[in-house]
């Protein structure tokens, strides 16, 4: 079976780094490592005590040295995957790592699939599905708030809250089972009321998770924020100012930016994925046109749009056309170049912020307006991770609501338990106990190789 094979991958990011790690996991990890590693003290890794660090050389099968390295041996079940794990820490060069990886393959390992180490940790019962996904969130966290939420999930705090709801529903079921032998008419209204209240409380709990769905997604993925406007209004200058960089090319020539450029910034703990776009105008240039189409698309699809108009020049038809693209609840209107003499403009927007990337004027006001659009985030609350989880919770809420309906209809208490059991079934999909292999594969395909 595939699960019995020993896998190997580079666990560190590619590039020239001080240290790089090749990691092996599976029954044969230690034997495979023994074939390619010579310890300076001539000890075999299979004889080495658990969790000792051994210095030596990694060699190819002809005995030629590839690099010096330290090796860590972690025997099952005390490892990340609960399998035998060997970590080879060598120099962090692209070629060094590739050669060591290849020699692990020649010695009997096979390439790890995306997320396969974490998948094994899940399948071997070290973590549940929610925690496995949190591993990815920890790696990808862009602000300390996002990291905090991911760590809550990884440590199992989030799963624990879900399990508490599950337990409460189980209690209600036990309560109902005890009543089932009674003739329907003998069940006291007070008892039914009690059951109804308990179910209602769990609905509230789950809705609590769901209400932060949008904000949780923003914290995890960043709020997509497109900078839109006609050429030369100062879009790229704003991206550079906000990211404190020279990321985008700025010139006085209209039509400088052609491709969209993405950068992350942190606004009060919220990661903003800022996208600089090509200036929207009627252009005959084929390349520029593609960029402009992208900009128009982003004006529609971005969660937030910063719409820029040059405050030092009269607005024209192109500006008017761009204004028409805006959705009022998800855009912020900015008049740029406020350091230059301004002309009177007539824009029908609720709020207009004047900014200058030369002096920094108005930028604080802009950031406050962004925070306003995101809404207040209680970083300590529960967060639904993604659409899959949200969907499961919504279905659970539906089942619980239908249980309450059934109580009201007075058609028999055993029908209530059918709804409750359906809700319970769904919790298994969150923790991974009752999830299909396809879903598991889909989840881990989002990971990188080596994790």
Counting residues that bind ligand GTP (by CB under 6 A) gives 24
Q: From 53-61, 111-119, 229-237, 281-289, give the range in contact with Mg ion by CB under 5 A.
A: 229-237
Assess 277 for contact with Mg ion (CB under 5 A): no
CB of 401 to ligand GTP, least distance (A): 50
Near ligand GTP in 265-294, by CB under 6 A: 278-279
Assess 240 for contact with Mg ion (CB under 5 A): no
The DSSP annotation for 48-71 comes to SPTT-EEEEEEE-TT--EEEEEEE
Assess 311 for contact with ligand GTP (CB under 6 A): no
Picked from Mg ion, ligand GTP, none, the partner binding residue 220 (CB below 5 to 8 A depending on kind) is none
The Cα 45–Cα 167 span in angstroms is: 46
- Reduced 3-state DSSP string for 134-147: HHHHHHHCCCHHHH
Cα dihedral 310→314→320→325 (10° resolution):
10
Assess 254 for contact with ligand GTP (CB under 6 A): yes
Between 141 and 299, whose beta carbon lies closer to ligand GTP? 299
What 437-443 contacts at long range (C-beta under 8 Å, 24+ apart), as own/partner pairs, is 439/388, 440/119, 440/122, 440/129, 443/115, 443/129, 443/132, 443/133
CB of 346 to ligand GTP, least distance (A): 21
Picked from Mg ion, ligand GTP, none, the partner binding residue 382 (CB below 5 to 8 A depending on kind) is none
Assess contact for 103 and 58: CB atoms under 8 A: yes
Strands ordered across the beta sheet of 331-336: 261-267, 270-276, 223-229, 304-310, 331-336, 352-354
Picked from Mg ion, ligand GTP, none, the partner binding residue 406 (CB below 5 to 8 A depending on kind) is none
Element (H, E) at 372: helix 363-374
Between 81 and 257, whose beta carbon lies closer to Mg ion? 257
What is the residue whose two structure tokens read 């084929």?
286
Which residues on neighbouring strands pair with residue 70, listed in sequence order? 55, 89
Between 43 and 256, whose beta carbon lies closer to Mg ion? 256
The CB density around residue 341, as the number of other CB atoms within 10 Å, is 8
The Cα 111–Cα 6 span in angstroms is: 9
Assess 231 for contact with ligand GTP (CB under 6 A): yes
CB of 270 to ligand GTP, least distance (A): 24
Assess 236 for contact with Mg ion (CB under 5 A): yes
CB of 248 to ligand GTP, least distance (A): 7
The Cα 293–Cα 273 span in angstroms is: 19
Picked from ligand GTP, Mg ion, none, the partner binding residue 252 (CB below 5 to 8 A depending on kind) is ligand GTP
CB of 226 to ligand GTP, least distance (A): 13
Counting residues that bind Mg ion (by CB under 5 A) gives 4
Sites of contact with Mg ion (CB under 5 A): 235-236, 256-257
Sites of contact with ligand GTP (CB under 6 A): 229, 231-237, 250-252, 254-257, 278-279, 336-337, 339-340, 356-358
């Amino acid at each position: 079976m595939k699960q019995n094979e020993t896998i190997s991958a580079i666990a560190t990011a590619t590039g020239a780094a001080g240290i790089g790690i090749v990691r092996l996991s599976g029954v044969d990890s230690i034997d495979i490592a023994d074939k390619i590693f010579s310890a300076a003290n001539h000890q075999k890794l299979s004889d080495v005590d658990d969790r000792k660090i051994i210095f030596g050389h990694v060699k190819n099968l002809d005995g030629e040295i590839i690099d010096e390295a330290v090796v860590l041996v972690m025997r099952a079940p005390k490892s990340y995957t609960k399998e035998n794990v060997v970590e080879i820490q060598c120099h962090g060069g692209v070629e060094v790592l590739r050669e060591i990886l290849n020699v692990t393959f020649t010695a009997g390992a096979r390439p790890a699939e995306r997320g396969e180490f974490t998948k094994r940790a899940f399948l071997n019962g070290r973590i549940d599905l929610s925690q496995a996904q949190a591993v990815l969130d920890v790696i990808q966290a862009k602000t300390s708030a996002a990291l905090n939420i991911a760590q809550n999930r990884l440590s199992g705090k989030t799963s624990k809250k879900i399990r508490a709801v599950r337990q409460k529903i189980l209690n209600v079921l036990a309560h109902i089972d005890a009543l089932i032998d009674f003739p329907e008419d003998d069940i006291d209204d007070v008892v039914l009321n009690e059951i109804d209240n308990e179910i209602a409380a769990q609905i509230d709990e789950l809705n609590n998770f769901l209400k932060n769905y949008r904000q949780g997604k923003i914290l995890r993925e960043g709020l997509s924020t497109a900078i839109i406007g006609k050429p030369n209004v100062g879009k790229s200058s704003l991206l550079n100012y906000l990211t404190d960089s020279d990321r985008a090319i700025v010139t006085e020539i209209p039509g400088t930016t052609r491709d969209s450029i993405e950068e992350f910034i942190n606004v009060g703990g919220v990661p903003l994925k800022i996208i600089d776009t090509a200036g929207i105008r009627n252009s005959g240039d084929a390349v520029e046109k593609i960029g402009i189409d992208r900009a128009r698309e982003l004006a529609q699809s971005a969660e937030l749009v910063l719409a820029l108009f040059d405050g030092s020049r009269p607005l024209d038809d192109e500006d008017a056309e761009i204004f028409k693209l805006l959705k009022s609840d998800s855009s912020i209107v900015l008049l740029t170049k406020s350091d230059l003499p301004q002309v009177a403009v007539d824009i029908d927007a609720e709020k207009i912020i004047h900014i200058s990337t030369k002096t920094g004027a108005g930028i604080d006001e802009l950031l406050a307006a962004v925070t306003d659009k995101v809404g207040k985030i209680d970083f300590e609350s529960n967060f639904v991770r993604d659409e899959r989880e949200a969907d499961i919770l919504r279905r659970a809420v539906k089942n619980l609501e239908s249980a309450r309906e059934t109580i009201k209809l007075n058609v028999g208490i055993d029908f209530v338990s059918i709804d409750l059991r359906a809700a319970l079934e769904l919790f298994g999909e969150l923790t991974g106990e009752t999830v299909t292999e396809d879903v598991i594969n889909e989840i881990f395909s989002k990971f990188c190789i080596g994790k």
